[in-house]
Amino acid sequence: MSLRGQRGVSLVEIMVALVLGLVLSAGVIQIYVANKQAYRAADATSRIQENARFAMDALTRDIRMAGFIGCGDLDFITPNVVANNPPAGGLSASNAVRGYEYDGSSWTPAFNGTAPTGVVADTDVISISRGGDCGANLVGNMTTDNANIQINSGYSCNLQAGDVLLISDCVSADIFRATNVSSGSTTTISHSQAQNTDNFLSKAYNKDARVYRFSSADYYIRQNAAGEPALFVRENGTEPAADGDLVEGVENMQILYGEDTDVAFDGSANKYVPADAVGDWSRVVSVRISLLLRSAEDNVVSAPQTYTYNDSEVTSSDRHLRRVYTTTIGLRNRLP
């Protein structure tokens, strides 16, 4: 009897092979989907952490320096404002840092100056006023209070005509606007009489004075050009463009202010309260900021996320990944 080679497979064998192939394919697809979802979650977490770090660094750097006027102290010196179109409220111990609660239609307390536009309802706004990071020494004494101001030509401040500037020593300070800035062996800043009808500056400053660019910044939450919530900063009253957000994905910002309520000021916060409960802004010594950030992509988590924010438990209506970040910042120029 001769042996015959196998010429084919039976229907049963084909069906078994198909079932095994489908099982293996389903397993491979399941592993791929799980790995892809894990990658998306890890990538979203990484991006949120990066955005949170950048946002906190920017806020911390600015808030920590609130009220900076060089070697002077706002508790003893109130800068004399002579600038045209001066910053709202000037600069004093009571407005170096200010906070606001916004409910979508009104501000508490009332906004000092013109409020930023597009602020998301039920988020907080914080305003910081100070001398800028870059400063330059005078190279000679001013002969009169309306004399040009000369500073080192090697400064890196890139001052321009029209800039609002702060000049100060350890005794006095003035906020003024430069009418012209010219560079040579020294940099010369000219300024014109404005607010004060008696004099240009409060005095003729000497070589121990320094000049800084005046900085006024409002931090708030608004939608960016893509329709996503983001952290914006308005500098010196200039509204940023919709695509000029500082950090994307910041959905909410809630702020508490540490107020020293001791009769004898010791620089330690006795309580943390929202802006509408601050009794004396000149006694705010620290700021506690809580940011809620979300992923740019939806469907990152498998189900709507439940999280705790601002002492409330919240369940989202979407599947964005969310994280809460909180930090407390001491005001260096308010501490003893």
| C-alpha closest to that of 321 among 336, 334, 308, 303 | 303
The pLDDT of residue 205 is above 90: yes
Section 177-188 average pLDDT: 87
Give pTM, 2 decimals: 0.86
The pLDDT of residue 287 is above 90: yes
Per-residue model confidence (pLDDT) at position 195:
52
Least confident of 2-16, 91-105, 170-184: 2-16
73, two tokens? 């102290």
Section 28-47 average pLDDT: 77
Confidence of residue 258 (pLDDT cuts 50, 70, 90): very high
The DSSP code sequence of 163-222 is -EEEEE-SS-EEEEEEEEEEESSEEEEEE---S-SS-SSSS---TT-EEEEEEEEEEEEE
The pLDDT of residue 2 is above 60: no
Distance between CA atoms of 195 and 197, rounded to whole angstroms? 6
Cis peptide before 109 (omega within 30 of 0): yes
The pLDDT of residue 300 is above 90: no
Q: What would the pLDDT profile of 131-182 be if each residue is shown by its tens digit?
A: 988 888 899 899 988 899 999 877 767 888 889 999 999 999 999 989 899 8
Element (H, E) at 68: none
Contact call for residues 133 and 155 (beta carbons, < 8 A): no
Per-residue model confidence (pLDDT) at position 221:
98
| C-alpha closest to that of 155 among 173, 167, 138, 172 | 138
**Domain boundaries defined on the chain:** 45-330
Distance between CA atoms of 72 and 61, rounded to whole angstroms? 19
